[in-house]
Structure 1
């Protein structure tokens, strides 16, 4: 059946079951409760009919047994030959309800065969001995299903002979009585289910009003992203409010990052912009070629500084976001990736007068990471060495396996960092006092945040042969 055909045949069921349907919570709850109640009514009706039929069968079986015993008594007291008087025949075939449900009887002799009644109505097999209680059984007479009762008695005119008296009736009256009982019970059940439904509707309506105070509290908020908390919140709504609180927390972090980025940008770009203005005014005030050339050279340096600062601010903001994108993280072999990244920076190291090298294992070293942010981490470490190690220095990138971690090290033999300042490395905008090289103080902060996002750690210490060493440890996979 096609989707269009479903919509034409059962539009309400289509709207209820398909995910794009839109219903109020009250409607959904009432529909979810109404359908089981209707099914319960049908199921209860079936049970009621089955119970009524059992009751009707029991009553009619008792009546049938009584008829058999009555006919047996008539034969014993009135006509030992087995002939049925017209009065007895009328009583057997009379239907007091006027339903024409048909009744049958037969009187058979063990020696002489049928004495009276219907020839096709046979007694049950094995009923050849005298018995006091009638035997009930089912029998088919043509296309009719019958319920019969048979009882045996001695033939007083023929000693040794046994008479079998059988009375049977159709099942129509039994089912008619069961249907009447069912029709009498359905209205009462329907009224009961309607009352239950009204109570459920009232309960759902009253229960949903418990959300009104929470809605009013949220409506009063404008820029407040504080947690909703659990005070006055129904237990069933706690998962929703906790999810909203988590969303508020992420929004607060994002807004805090945005405010920090704006503040950092204003702080870091103020000096380059002021310098640009000074040198532009200087070139305008002294238009001689030497002054203009010197001003343009300073302007170029300030632009490069502002460009680098803005790039690092953006990188720091990305690194400070909550969690890395799971889709961007892949299984990386650092033994293959790190040498390739180092190779790309060799020409810059040669231009800065620094000997850049790599020392690592040949076997694969696997971690789960984002290749782009990992490249940004290594670039900042190399930039830090190129900027502060000084010309003539050497810098070595190392890779080693340490138990369950993989250690990426960057070591140079430059002037190094005094021990009292090692603990502050990684702070935003922190620069070692007395350092004359230009920088923004963001490189190691970016490294710190990227390592934390990949569940790693960063350690700063003096190099084995003097200088400075940074170690970044990642969990191996």
Structure 2
């Protein structure tokens, strides 16, 4: 299976192996002389040991030291002073020197490798040039032995780095696998927030992503549940007017012409009710759709227009409009107007004819506050929490509407990043408070 896990693991492992291996090989190829001089167990200490014999015991002891070295390790050594003159005879035969001179244009044909190094004695301050000639078989044998430790260290490093790469790969692919499962569950509408609870506790980007995904999943599940509930409520609400229409049509089909004329107004009323219900349902559904770009809204002008439209019927009660000018909000004017109109008409429906409905707008704590108060009986405390839900009507108010006005107002407030508070006024009557943020907002889910 060509999964992301194996791709990431292979990429990490190959990159580490190539970098480590190439670093060793390049370093070994470019610095062979330095590598041999620093790593060879004889050559790395030879200058110091020879200088000690020469300065403390004399040239004879130094020459004996080099001859013993040749017999034991087959390494020829010459030592020159700063003027280029031999300090001691050394162990390199003259015939070998003549052969080397003849092969100076092609040193690869020599049976030995020539290395040079300088050493300054800390006691005398004299600088010596040491020339080594190591036979190729001797050098190859040492190479094989000297690579055991670097190769072992490289293998250990590769094992450790492979484990580290495995952990890194798991830390990436496991959260992705959990997110994939969560996405699948979300598509099947069986998403549970606790499925990403452990991942959301992480303090890295995956934790932030899981937290945001949980928030999105909860919101989507809430919307799906509300849409399903709305569909059930719509089906229930549409069934009653359709049933009345069917009964009226059945009666009209069997009635005489005179009786049929009396049934037409009833049919018109039922059609009007059905049209009004469908219009409100479409308005509520439209609030969840994508909206156009927001624009500045002059609340004083908007509230004055809504108030004048509500009074066109010429019926009481009047409206007491008070606006703390200037007030403006960034949003969708049609949506705000519909919300305020629903609240205002709802208040006029239950307010006494001799008491004005209070429509006030002000700025409080950096937010725009639009309040609508009537002087009617208010709502029962046990029903306040349900007000604003689609199709909910308090007992005794079944004929007052379809139960969508407050739901439309609440959804409009939420789309603007605000809220709708419904409560009884301490001095009597019902109070609806619509709070909106003044700053531009983006439409949410």
Task: Give the structure 1 partner of residue 95 of structure 2.
Answer: none
Alignment partners' CA distance in 2, 1:216 and 1:474: 38
Task: Give the structure 2 partner of residue 147 of structure 1.
Answer: 118
Say whether the 8 Å CA contact 1:463–1:469 is kept in structure 2: no
Distance 1:152 1:107, change over 3 A: farther
Deviations 1:36-64 (A, max 9, x none): 35434555778998995673489536423
Query: Shift of the alpha carbon at 1:25?
Result: 1.8
Secondary structure of the structure 2 residue equivalent to 1:350: coil
Distance 1:36 1:293, change over 3 A: farther
Task: Give the structure 1 partner of residue 91 of structure 2.
Answer: none
The unaligned stretches of length 5 or more in structure 1 are: 1-21, 79-86, 109-113, 119-143, 154-163
Task: Give the structure 2 partner of residue 105 of structure 1.
Answer: 80
Query: Shift of the alpha carbon at 1:443?
Result: 1.4
Q: Once superposed, what is the RMSD of the aligned Cα atoms?
A: 5.9
From 264, 274, 279, the counterpart of 2:243 = 274
Secondary structure of the structure 1 residue equivalent to 2:345: helix
Matched, 1:418 2:377: yes
Task: Give the structure 2 partner of residue 306 of structure 1.
Answer: 274
Distance 1:220 1:378, change over 3 A: closer
Distance 1:168 1:95, change over 3 A: farther
Secondary structure of the structure 1 residue equivalent to 2:403: coil
Matched, 1:360 2:323: yes
Alignment partners' CA distance in 2, 1:389 and 1:342: 20
1:279-358 matches, cutoff 5 A = 279-286=248-255, 288=257, 291-292=259-260, 294-316=262-284, 336-340=298-302, 342-343=304-305, 346-347=308-309, 349-351=311-313, 353=315, 355=318, 358=321
Q: Answer 1 or 2: which has greater helix percent.
A: 2
Alignment partners' CA distance in 2, 1:434 and 1:76: 126
From 149, 152, 155, the counterpart of 1:188 = 152
1:69-468 matches, cutoff 5 A = 103-106=78-81, 117=86, 146-149=117-120, 167-169=128-130, 183-192=147-156, 225=190, 227=192, 229=194, 249-286=218-255, 288=257, 291-292=259-260, 294-316=262-284, 336-340=298-302, 342-343=304-305, 346-347=308-309, 349-351=311-313, 353=315, 355=318, 358-364=321-327, 371-385=333-347, 387-388=349-350, 395-403=357-365, 405-411=367-373, 416-419=375-378, 421=380, 424=383, 426=387, 428=389, 429-431=391-393, 438-451=400-413, 454-461=417-424
Alignment partners' CA distance in 1, 2:166 and 2:408: 59
Say which one has the larger Rg: 1
Task: Give the structure 2 partner of residue 63 of structure 1.
Answer: 46
Alignment partners' CA distance in 2, 1:431 and 1:151: 105
Distance 1:435 1:97, change over 3 A: closer
Number of matched pairs: 392
Alignment partners' CA distance in 1, 2:265 and 2:6: 72
Say whether the 8 Å CA contact 1:52–1:181 is kept in structure 2: no
Query: Shift of the alpha carbon at 1:181?
Result: 6.7
The unaligned stretches of length 5 or more in structure 2 are: 88-114, 440-445
Alignment partners' CA distance in 2, 1:411 and 1:107: 109
Alignment partners' CA distance in 2, 1:104 and 1:77: 13
Query: Shift of the alpha carbon at 1:225?
Result: 1.9
Q: TM-score, normalised by structure 1?
A: 0.58
Alignment partners' CA distance in 2, 1:313 and 1:183: 82
Alignment partners' CA distance in 1, 2:17 and 2:241: 76
Deviations 1:342-369 (A, max 9, x none): 4156345313535556321223355x65
Q: TM-score, normalised by structure 2?
A: 0.61
Alignment partners' CA distance in 2, 1:152 and 1:216: 76
Say whether the 8 Å CA contact 1:150–1:165 is kept in structure 2: yes
Distance 1:398 1:291, change over 3 A: farther
Query: Shift of the alpha carbon at 1:273?
Result: 0.6
Alignment partners' CA distance in 2, 1:305 and 1:60: 107
Secondary structure of the structure 1 residue equivalent to 2:80: strand
